[in-house]
Amino acid sequence: MPTTIRAAGAVTALEGAIAAIVAIVLAIREAAGHREAFISGYGTAAWFGIIGGGVLIGGLALLTGRRWGRAIAVVAQILLLPVAYALLTDSHQPWFGIPLAIAAVAVLVLIFSPASTHWLVGEYTTDDPTDTGSRPRRR
């Protein structure tokens, strides 16, 4: 397993862990009596917990060499890019938006690097160097 996959898995797992921590904080705030007029603390905590848990599992899958974690990581990064853009433009919070954008782009670069792609397709290739992948046609 290439280092690029491990690094992408580590960043993705960190993103998922941060989301899970946010879920815990939101649930604690709601339980302590903090109310927001426009959101449900428990509902938002559940959303962060479910999504963050999935991203955390995908990152851990990549860290342990499971190829299926790549799909979760790619989708998570693609969805985080508009969030980073919104943090930079609409919310005027560059201290959150810039690191998030850098992390998302970095994970995408790591996942689509040649070493990572070669590792991914390694499951579907043969060890026989004379095999061209073509099979004789049956008549």
Model confidence band, residue 76 (pLDDT cutoffs 50, 70, 90): very high
Please, are residues 64 and 57 in contact by the beta-carbon 8 Å criterion?
Answer: no
Taking only the tens place, the pLDDT of each residue in 123-138 is: 666 666 666 555 555 5
Q: In this structure, how many other beta carbons lie within 10 angstroms of the beta carbon of residue 6?
A: 16
pLDDT at position 41 is 84
Residue 37 buriedness (CB in 10 A; 0-12 / 13-18 / 19+): exposed
The full length of the chain comes to 139
Taking only the tens place, the pLDDT of each residue in 25-73 is: 999 999 998 887 778 889 999 999 999 999 999 999 999 999 999 999 9
Pick the closest to residue 93 from 78, 83, 102 (CA basis). Answer: 83
pLDDT at 139 over 60: no
pLDDT at position 59 is 97
Rounded to whole angstroms, how far apart are CA atoms 62 and 12? 9
